[in-house]
Amino acid sequence: MQALAAVDSNDARDGAILFGDLIGKLDDRRVSCDKCGRFGRYPVQRLINDHGRDGKIVDWLDQITADCPKKSSRSWSNRCGARCPDLPRVL
Ligand SMILES: [Zn+2]
């Protein structure tokens, strides 16, 4: 996380990772959730077509996990843990 802050300390992105950041680094955006066992694979090019290069991955994650049974859990420790296992590797 330290590296991310150093890379981008400017403007409106608020430190968020954007789809544009994935261009040339990944073909597929993988998402997995330990809590509900879901696993998805999303072509980066299609995500950019749908959300634009400036789309925030965190917002998109919120959308695709909206139906996760753990998403609305009141218990923080039992909440949906969907995340992108590739991100630390490519950024
Ligand atoms: Zn989940």
Looking at residue 65, its pLDDT comes to: 82
- pLDDT greater than 60 at residue 8: no
- pLDDT greater than 70 at residue 10: no
Structure tokens at 13: 């992105």
Distance 68 CA to ligand 1 centre (A): 5
Q: How many CB atoms lie within 10 A of CB 39?
A: 11
If phi > 0 it is left, if psi is from -120 to 50 it is alpha, else beta; for residue 53 that is alpha
**Which are the contacts of 57, defined by CB distance < 8 A and separation ≥ 6?**
16, 17, 18, 19, 22, 29, 84, 87
Distance 79 CA to ligand 1 centre (A): 7
**Which pLDDT tens digit goes with each residue over 54-73?**
999 989 988 888 888 777 66
Q: Give me the chain's average pLDDT, please.
A: 79
Distance 78 CA to ligand 1 centre (A): 9
pLDDT band at 1 (very low <50, low <70, confident <90, very high): very low
For residue 28, give the DSSP letter: E
Tell me the longest C-alpha to C-alpha distance in the chain. Answer: 38
Distance 8 CA to ligand 1 centre (A): 29
pTM (two decimals) = 0.69
- pLDDT greater than 60 at residue 20: yes
- The residues placing their C-beta within 5 Å of ligand 1, an ion, are 33, 35-36, 68, 70, 80, 82
